Chain A
């Protein structure tokens, strides 16, 4: 019987091979994704000694996003819930499930190696999904099997999914980079910074899933607006203290400013549909406040060795802004977001002053019920949520340039003079043997 580690290696190999074996059916891949992530999470739980009490990691973050996707599968615009699954990803899922089944029989595997293999599998499959869904967004425009109406309905949803998987790929990639052998070990401070980002990501997704209300959306967008402001200040401080170069900071700052403004706009629009006496999860508020605090202290207090980890954490935070905003858009477009009946009535009356009757059931208003947003009210939120997603996506893509600028761990102490030039880490090449001249034998 094979060991769990061997099954995880098999899952990774199948995931990599899927890049050239799968049928490139974006809808089938997307339907299979939540099953694969659940299998990966089960495998992760087998090896994770800290369990639910420990700080969330990248696998927790990817899982909570996949669960948010799965929770809305019934009502999403694309893809249809019923349909085929992808065979290549099903194989990966099966290998991950087998690793759980054999985990008590074999030798105990190294926890960090297991996490690395699982995360690599998620990275590879999210990359495949991002590529295939992006191609689907191009092909959809000329698909003869769809009417113009279907195309106009599906295209925004397909593009959102492509952006979301691009973010998931970045999230997994930054964690794999951050824990690779060429990086310095993580200090407690850098670890705290990354934990705060992960906790915010998980809490935001959970809050949206557990209470699909405009009250949660209002608090979430308020905290995101403040967090991105904090991130902007962090980038500015980081440029001053030499963590990142000024050119990169100048390139990133405007889009962070735009992103903060678009979250603030969503906060204001959702405030009109929300009442302040509706409770929101305290975990969400605490995670948001903790993240802001970490941003304010991290750049000023960081050691030189912390710089690469902080930069990877920053990219990871921007990736989470994309997945959170995509989840918000999906919640709204699926018609699952709810608001107090009285608030809906007030907003609709304000936007349709000619109507002399209430557009919402008076009994619902009298009983203080919440109702799903109707299409008129959803349209009010559509513009701000799209802006939030696009700005977050742009910020994440621009931050990708930060990854190549990490400083060497062998750098000398920071000199304040202009002559201080950090050396860039030289990656070691794969050792070559004399027999490497010949191509590999055919198998």
Chain B
């Protein structure tokens, strides 16, 4: 059975680093006080997802060599995240280690919910 998973490309690594920078922005926004009408359980679940994706992303790229993330803070976070997710998807062959797919799926899930949990503050 084929068990080989080719190493992800340098372009994919760049896209991971870029997405990590944006996840830091999401994390920063989540530290601000939230509105009372945002469901607490759903909010905690989302925070957990962001944390998990951030850790997994750091695991995928070599943390020691990772440059400080400097994402464009002027744009709309929803739009930036969606663009970053599309970039990640475009760079995939689908045959990378499963962890890479998990990271990309988690960023996609964060895209879907960032409006509720970040902008509803």
Using a CB–CB cutoff of 8 Å, the interface residues on chain A facing chain B are: 8-9, 12-13, 16-20, 24, 110, 112-113, 116-117, 120, 123-124, 127, 131, 135, 138, 173, 176-177, 179-183, 185-186, 427-433, 435-440, 442-443
Contacts and interface: CB of A to CB of B under 8 A. Distances in A.
A9 B96 CA distance: 12
Interface of B: 1-8, 10-18, 21, 39, 42, 59-63, 65-67, 70-72, 81-83, 85-87, 89-90, 92-95, 97-102, 104-105, 108-109, 111-112
Contact of A113 (B2, B39, B71, B101): B2
A179 B96 CA distance: 11
A19 B10 contact: no
B13 A431 contact: yes
A120 B98 CA distance: 9
Q: Which of A12, A16, A440 has the most CB of B within 10 A?
A: A440
23 contacts: A9-B92, A16-B104, A16-B105, A19-B85, A19-B108, A19-B112, A116-B95, A117-B94, A117-B95, A123-B101, A127-B109, A138-B42, A179-B3, A180-B97, A181-B6, A183-B3, A185-B1, A432-B62, A436-B17, A436-B61, A437-B67, A440-B87, A443-B87
Contacts of B42: 135, 138
Given A117-B94, A181-B6, A428-B7, 20 more contacts: A113-B2, A113-B95, A116-B2, A138-B39, A138-B42, A183-B3, A186-B1, A429-B61, A430-B13, A431-B10, A431-B13, A432-B61, A432-B62, A432-B66, A433-B13, A436-B14, A439-B14, A439-B71, A440-B11, A440-B15
Contacts of B97: 180-182, 427
Contacts of A120: 94, 101
Contacts of B72: 439
Nearest to B72: A439
Nearest to B63: A429
A182 B13 CA distance: 18
B92 to A, nearest CB: 7
Given A432-B10, A437-B67, A20 B108 contact: yes
A176 B98 contact: yes
A120 B89 CA distance: 13
A182 B7 CA distance: 11
Contacts of B17: 436, 439
Contacts of B5: 180-182
A416 to B, nearest CB: 30
A112 B66 CA distance: 33
Nearest to A439: B18
Given A24-B112, A113-B95, A439-B21, A180 B3 contact: yes
Contacts of A112: 1-2
A181 B108 CA distance: 24
Nearest to A115: B2
B13 A432 contact: yes
A430 B92 contact: no
A17 B91 CA distance: 12
B98 A17 contact: no
B102 to A, nearest CB: 8
B2 A110 contact: yes
B85 A17 contact: yes
A173 B102 CA distance: 9
Nearest to B59: A427
Contacts of A186: 1
Contacts of A437: 67
Contacts of B99: 427
A78 to B, nearest CB: 21
A180 B108 contact: no
B17 to A, nearest CB: 6
A431 B94 contact: no
Contacts of B18: 439-440
Nearest to A191: B1
B90 A13 contact: yes
Given A17-B85, A117-B94, A124-B105, A440 B14 contact: yes
A20 B107 CA distance: 9
A113 B13 CA distance: 22
B55 to A, nearest CB: 12
A429 B59 CA distance: 6
Contacts of B65: 432
- The 6 closest A-B CB pairs, nearest first, are A19-B108, A112-B2, A181-B5, A20-B111, A433-B10, A429-B62
A276 B104 CA distance: 52
B108 A9 contact: no
B82 A20 contact: yes
A54 to B, nearest CB: 12
B31 to A, nearest CB: 23
A13 B92 contact: yes
Contacts of A431: 7-8, 10, 13, 62
Nearest to B97: A180
